[in-house]
Amino acid sequence: MSVKYINLKLQYKTLEKEIMSSISRVLESGNFILGDELKNFELEIAKYCDVQYALGVGNGTDSLRIALKSLGVGKGDEVITVPNSFIATVGSIVEVGARPRFVDVGDDYNINPTLIEDAINEHTKAIMPVHLTGRPADMKIIMQIAHKYNLPVVEDAAQASGAKYHGKKVGSLGNIGSFSFHPLKNLNAYGDGGLLTTNDQELYEQIFRLRNHGLKNRNECSSFGYNSRLDELQAAILNLKLSYLDSWNETCRLIAQKYQKELSDVVEVPSDKPYEEPIYHTFIIQTDKRDDLQTYLDKQGIETKIHYPIPIHLHEAARYLGYKEGDFPNAEKQAKRILSLPIYPELTEIEVHEVIDGVKTFFRQI
């Protein structure tokens, strides 16, 4: 590929000396679990997200699962969410014994808040909006509904580290924020990692115990929990990368602006709202010629992805929920038209224009 969809090696090479220094520091300390590196990272990212508490966990899926568990979500309960996210969003709901209740999405790929109230019933225990593609969901309306029905809100911010809504960072808008540090995320570890944020001390204390077997100290277990701890190596690496996150996000916004300007006449491009500051974890275009365009770009050496081609309610695993094709028309229509273009801080200006030229050339030829 002349233009890769992602190139993680480039990021490493730019930080190699700092990364290796951080790794050496951890190895020389002899402390690899729940040590000072994690404490320092949790303090720094709590400040960054403008929250009181941040707790590192093993991965993004665990962060969602632990969030729900800390809220008491379990068997017989329902959690309102979207059908167009990565399967882990819904998987976490199912894993705690609850049932996902889907709501269709808007043109920004996020939950349509005007449809939420109709999905609330006596079994509803929480609302889980997803800040998909790095664009924040409309949290003002979501929180108004949540307060009206006394429901907690878990932000799935796995794709949105650093994104802002009305000047506030995602992860500080709901009761709990959930993040992923998977290598493909904009704030990424060299392996799996996750984080939970909250301003609620009681939730913090529950999460603190749940991530470490339910232990309230070395010898006493208050309730059974999980073995899900962000290790010292990953915490050290993430704390280093956190200092670069804003500049990386800004670079991606500039790339997104170029795509928006140059491609809006041939494909549907996302349009930023005045009150949001997205980070563009993915830059998604829409076209009825999606499959042909992807094939053409691939032949030109330009790698693209589809996030995600099958809505969650149409997966085999979700059949027992009883949903069918046509239940969520906007999410289903988008799934047939969406295509993710390369977007990451190390993408060169030449490569960005190569992508733009590739898309434009395709449409000139048809």
Specify the pLDDT at position 189: 98
**Structural domains in the chain plus CATH codes:** 8-242 (3.40.640.10), 245-365 (3.90.1150.10)
Which amino acid does the sequence have at 40? Answer: N
pLDDT digits (tens, 9 = 90+) for 213-264: 999 999 999 999 999 999 999 999 999 999 999 999 999 999 999 999 999 9
Specify the pLDDT at position 1: 77
Those residues of the chain that have pLDDT short of 70 are: none
Q: How far apart are CA 237 and CA 190, in angstroms?
A: 8
Element (H, E) at 246: helix 245-263
pLDDT digits (tens, 9 = 90+) for 178-214: 999 999 999 999 999 999 999 999 999 999 999 999 9
**Phi-psi group of 194: left, alpha or beta (phi > 0 → left; psi -120 to 50 → alpha; rest → beta):** beta
Q: Which segments within 63-140 are labelled E, that is strand?
A: 78-81, 99-102, 124-127
SS3 content of the chain, % helix, strand, coil (to 5): 45, 15, 40
Helices within 138-244 (DSSP H only): 139-149, 201-210, 232-242
- Output the CA torsion 9→14→20→26 (10° steps): -90
Q: Is 3 within 8 Å of 301 (Cβ atoms)? A: yes
